[in-house]
Structure 1
Amino acid sequence: MWLLNLRIRSPDLNDVENTDGLEKFIRDLRSIVEYQQFLMRYVEVLNKLLSTPIALLMVSSVTELCINMYILSLNGEIINKSRAIIVSFCTLLDYTMVYGLPAQLLMSESAATADMIYHECKWYLPILRPLRNDFLIIIARSQKGVRLRAANYHVINNQTILLMVKTAYSFYTFLQNIGQRPRN
């Protein structure tokens, strides 16, 4: 989407006063509409393809984090604890850099597209009156928002990583409580 916002800034509004400049601006705006359609379809395809694998990755990562927390709570060698810390850090870093951050940037840029059109394109100029429908289409589509999802249920963003850590810690404390109960 950040490419879309860069493309919105690129049409030159200084030449709109003459007919050739207006035609070029119309072509540029139509290509922006087509590009926005392409990006929205692309996210839909990504959700269809990656929805289940991302959900499975989330579940396995939470399980891995929970096990590593348990390993850290045991009295053991420092090398095993160091390994658990490094694996947990790499798991969180991987999920953040590969899924969380790009998805968050995609959502933020999608939300900023309407503002970009409204503030950058000078839609109020009388010569651009025929293009107001195109401006409205772009703004309406950007209001819908773009989201990557895990199992068509959970939205992937920066908050997902925090949720994964909280869930792993909840499972860890649950297992600790079960392990500390006296047996009859």
Structure 2
Amino acid sequence: MEQFCICFSRYTDTINTTFSETLLCYLWISVIALCVEMYNLSSGQDLELFIRATVYISTNLFQFVTFYCIPAQKLTDEASKIGNSAYFSYWYEYLPRSCTTKLVIMQSQKKAIVTAGGLIDINLATSLTTVKTMVSYCMFLRTMGAE
């Protein structure tokens, strides 16, 4: 159990150090690009533009949610289950051998979260926030374009 906890923590740290800045850039570029495409979609000038914007928005959101948000959410959920599993394993009945279990319980209190640039946690709530931000910026562009 202790080896699993160490491996899990190392895996999360590797993901964060490797992809953190890249994921932040990807997130910002996606929000801006999706906002512009949403604005193009709402202008409704041409059928070809409408179809292109719809396909771009749906594939980009699908990619972000499927390849980034869902795996990060599953990683966070599994990390939170480690402490519960160790705690409910009746560790207190085996006091002489329970030191490693206590360490696992203490280590599991540290959250395993995938972040983008150390600023934004990547999970399913982030995907909803991304969509809300995209729609808000699109409405801002429409308001500025109407004036």
Shorter-chain TM band: over 0.9
Matched, 1:157 2:111: no
Cα-Cα RMSD: 1.3
Matched, 1:169 2:122: no
Aligned residue for 2:91, secondary structure, equals: coil
Mark the structure with the bigger radius of gyration: 1
Q: CA deviation at 1:35?
A: 2.5
TM-score, scaled relative to structure 2: 0.93
Q: Which amino acid aligns with 1:137?
A: L
Cα separation, 1, equivalents of 2:53 and 2:107: 45
Pairing partner for 1:142 from 108, 118, 129: 108
Cα separation, 1, equivalents of 2:111 and 2:136: 31
Cα separation, 2, equivalents of 1:75 and 1:118: 57
Q: CA deviation at 1:178?
A: 1.4
The aligned counterpart of 2:29 is 60
Q: CA deviation at 1:105?
A: 0.7
The aligned counterpart of 1:123 is 91
Q: CA deviation at 1:133?
A: 1.4
Structure 2: stretches of 5+ with no match in the other structure: none
Q: CA deviation at 1:131?
A: 2.0
Residues 5 and 82, structure 2, Cα contact 8 Å, conserved in 1? no
Map 1:71-150 onto structure 2 (within 5 A): 71-119=40-88, 121-125=89-93, 128-150=94-116
Matched, 1:33 2:5: no
Q: CA deviation at 1:165?
A: 1.0
TM-score, scaled relative to structure 1: 0.75
What is the number of residues matched between the two proteins?
147
Percent sequence identity is 28
Range with greater deviation from structure 2 (108-117 or 150-159): 108-117
Higher relative contact order (CA 8 A, sep 6+): 2
The aligned counterpart of 1:19 is none
Q: Which amino acid aligns with 1:140?
A: M
Cα separation, 2, equivalents of 1:92 and 1:56: 15
Structure 1: stretches of 5+ with no match in the other structure: 1-31
Are the structure 2 counterparts of residues 147 and 168 from structure 1 closer, same or farther at C-alpha, using a change threshold of 3 Å?
same
